[in-house]
Structures are given as structure tokens and as C-alpha cells.
């Protein structure tokens, strides 16, 4: 069945270091993968997405890598800042299936000063 899971529940990094958050998925039919950031008391906020026909996409300070061979994606945050502290979710999406997102369990990113 469909499942999206994250490898690490908590990630602690020093301010200024790079962060890498990993995610595994199992639905080969997923054609979009999306990363969300959720701060305390708020709803998830879109960070970046990637189509299944791509293996890398860059945004502002963030890069998403997709490895379809092993069904794995990662979110890299460069020069992590205290404001990056949040829970990060990966989600998968199947085009034509309506706006249904299947979320992973989430990784808590803690930025230490």
C-alpha cells in the first residue's frame, strides 16, 4: 500500500551548518513530492516540490533530491538558521487523483545556537 516514512524523528544541528532531512516512499505512481514545514501552532507551509522526472531541484537555501531507484528523497537546508526550527514533512502526490497528499511522519529539526 501507499506509505511515506521519515528516517529520523529528530535532527539537531548547529546554526550555520547544513541540514539534511530524509524521506522514503513506496508508491511508484507518485509523480510529485513536496516538502512542508510546520511551526508550532501553525499549519504546514509549502517549501519546495519536485516532479518524479527530476532528480534535483533548488530553491532559496533549500535543495530537494529524488532517487527513484531506492524511492528516497531528501531536503537539504543550507546555512541552517534558528528560524528553520520546525517539523518537516515530506508528502507524495499522484496527478489526477485529486488534491490528496500522503504525508510522512515528520522530522523535528532543532537548531542549536
Partner 1 sequence: KAGVTQTPRYLIKTRGQQVTLSCSPISGHRSVSWYQQTPGQGLQFLFEYFSETQRNKGNFPGRFSGRQFSNSRSEMNVSTLELGDSALYLCASSSTGGVAGEQYFGPGTRLTVT
Q: Which residues bind partner 1 (CB under 8 A)?
A: 31-32, 34, 36, 41-46, 49, 51, 89, 91, 93, 95-106
Q: Which is nearer to partner 1, 45 or 58 (CB)?
A: 45
Question: Least distance to partner 1 from the beta carbon of 99, Å?
Answer: 5
Q: CA angle 16-20-21, nearest 5°?
A: 130
Question: Least distance to partner 1 from the beta carbon of 32, Å?
Answer: 4
Q: Which is nearer to partner 1, 16 or 46 (CB)?
A: 46
Q: Which is nearer to partner 1, 5 or 16 (CB)?
A: 5
Question: Least distance to partner 1 from the beta carbon of 17, Å?
Answer: 27
Q: Measured between alpha carbons, how far is 113 from 82 in angstroms, rounded to an integer?
A: 7
Q: Which is nearer to partner 1, 56 or 100 (CB)?
A: 100
Q: Measured between alpha carbons, how far is 78 from 72 in angstroms, rounded to an integer?
A: 20
Burial 34-53 (b: 16+ CB within 10 A, else e): bbbbeeeeeebeebbbbebe
Residues for the chain: how many in total? 113
Amino acid at each position: 500500500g501507499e506509505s511515506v516514512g521519515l528516517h529520523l524523528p529528530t535532527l539537531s544541528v548547529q546554526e550555520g551548518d547544513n541540514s539534511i532531512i530524509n524521506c522514503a516512499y513506496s508508491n511508484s505512481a507518485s509523480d510529485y513530492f513536496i516538502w512542508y514545514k510546520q511551526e508550532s501552532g501553525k499549519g504546514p507551509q509549502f517549501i519546495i516540490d519536485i516532479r518524479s522526472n527530476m532528480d534535483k531541484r533548488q530553491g532559496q537555501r533549500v535543495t530537494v533530491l529524488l532517487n527513484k531507484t531506492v524511492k528516497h528523497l531528501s531536503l537539504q537546508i543550507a546555512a541552517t538558521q534558528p528560524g528553520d526550527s520546525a517539523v518537516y514533512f515530506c508528502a507524495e502526490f499522484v496527478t489526477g487523483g485529486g488534491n490528496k497528499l500522503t504525508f510522512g511522519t515528520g522530522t523535528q529539526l532543532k537548531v542549536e545556537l
